[in-house]
């Protein structure tokens, strides 16, 4: 399901700030004024160096964690206006796959008991036999035997646990999955299997995915669109084909160059202190080879330059 314009997730002006006082108070928000849409069935990659705010953004979208402002609509429903049981029910069409599958599986419960929970939120009147049949079906869908349902998490490998976590999510047939570094703790061959599984599920059920990763090769393989975060701000939003052929923001170019286009993102001086003037101007100005006085004085906004390619950079916007 999506809204009338085919948009599953709409994020508007989302800002996330962690609480703190005195010396521990964050100078800047972890996520600042981020806006984007994800269409039905679209796979959108979210990249940026460590500490750029990717996980904070994911949690903010789910309405979890610290102080937030801004709006999040899921299939047209304003999640930011809900709380308690209404919020839990309202966000069922959006599920999250974590880096550590044990974050969504209780080690003391059998797999069956863990998988039952989201089903019961979605449909409280589901009969036991029907529920067990759906759990067995979900396990088979991710390549595991139905008999796994009676076992405990410690009896599985990391790759199998991630499959089980994905089965738990797809049981409720979400319209969008948020995958936060969902494969980065796994061996390369298992990573490929899980990525193929996600691609297959997207194909079968048409669900959208917000794919958060340091691995640019995986993003290139999986995604239709790429979003780039820098110091909590969205600085580029581009169709994947255009992005990998030539990103528009100098920071994105540095990311691609430093990664050789295929290895994990790691820039020299990753997550640096804000540049002088960053409060007013472009946060990347201190590191940017193309910076001009305008860049220090005024923050560039994310502007669409056509073909769905938006960039926050004064250079891009000059005629």
- Contact footprint for ligand SF4 (CB under 6 A): 249-250, 282, 284-285, 288, 290-291, 295, 300, 313-315
Q: Near ligand ATP by CB under 6 A, which window of 52-60, 131-139, 234-242, 243-251? A: 52-60
**What ranges make up the beta strands (E) of the chain?**
7-17, 31-39, 43-47, 67-74, 77-78, 94-97, 176-180, 208-212, 225-230, 233-239, 303-304, 310-311
Other CB atoms within 10 Å distance of the CB of residue 140: 13
Residue 114 contact, options ligand SF4, ligand ATP, Mg ion, none, Cβ 5-8 Å cut-off depending on partner type: none
CA distance 183 to 99: 6
Is 6 one of the binding residues for ligand ATP (CB under 6 A)? no
Query: Considering the complex, what minimum distance in angstroms separates the CB of residue 135 from ligand ATP?
Result: 31
Q: Which of 5, 6, 25, 50 binds ligand ATP (CB under 6 A)?
A: 50
- Which of 30, 74 has the CB closer to ligand ATP? 30
Query: Considering the complex, what minimum distance in angstroms separates the CB of residue 296 from ligand SF4?
Result: 8
CA distance 123 to 52: 37
Is 213 one of the binding residues for ligand ATP (CB under 6 A)? no
CA distance 205 to 175: 8
Strand order of the sheet with strand 176-180? 94-97, 176-180, 208-212, 43-47, 225-230, 233-239, 310-311, 303-304
Q: Near ligand ATP by CB under 6 A, which window of 50-58, 83-91, 129-137, 276-284? A: 50-58
Q: Which of 36, 38, 46, 55 binds Mg ion (CB under 5 A)?
A: 55
């Amino acid at each position: 399901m999506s809204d009338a314009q085919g948009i599953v997730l709409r994020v508007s002006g989302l800002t996330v700030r962690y609480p703190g006082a005195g010396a521990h108070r964050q100078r800047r928000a972890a996520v600042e004024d981020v806006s984007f849409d994800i269409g039905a069935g679209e796979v959108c990659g979210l990249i940026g160096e460590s500490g750029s705010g990717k996980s904070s953004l994911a949690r903010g979208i789910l309405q979890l964690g610290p102080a937030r402002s801004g709006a999040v609509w899921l299939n047209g429903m304003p999640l930011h206006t809900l709380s308690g049981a209404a919020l839990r029910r309202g966000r069922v069409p959006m599920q999250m796959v974590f880096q550590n599958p044990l974050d969504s599986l209780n080690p003391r419960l059998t797999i069956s008991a863990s998988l039952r929970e989201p089903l019961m939120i979605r449909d409280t009147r589901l009969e036991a036999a029907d529920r067990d049949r759906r759990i067995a079906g979900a396990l088979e869908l991710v390549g595991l035997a139905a008999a796994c349902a009676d076992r405990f998490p410690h009896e599985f490998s990391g790759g199998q646990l991630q499959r089980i976590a994905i089965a738990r999510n797809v049981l409720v047939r979400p319209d969008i999955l948020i995958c936060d570094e969902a494969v980065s703790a796994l061996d390369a061959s298992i990573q490929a299997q899980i990525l193929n599984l996600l691609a297959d599920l997207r194909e079968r059920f048409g669900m959208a995915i917000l794919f958060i990763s340091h691995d640019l090769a995986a993003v290139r393989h999986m995604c239709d669109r790429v979003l780039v975060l820098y110091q909590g701000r969205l600085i580029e939003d581009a169709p994947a084909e255009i992005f990998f052929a030539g990103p528009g923001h100098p920071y994105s170019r540095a990311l691609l160059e430093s990664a050789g286009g295929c290895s994990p993102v790691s820039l020299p001086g990753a997550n640096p202190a804000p540049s002088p003037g960053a409060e007013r101007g472009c946060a990347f100005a201190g590191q940017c080879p193309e910076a001009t006085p305008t860049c220090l004085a005024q923050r560039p906004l994310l502007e669409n330059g056509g073909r769905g390619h938006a960039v926050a950079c004064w250079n891009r916007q000059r005629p």
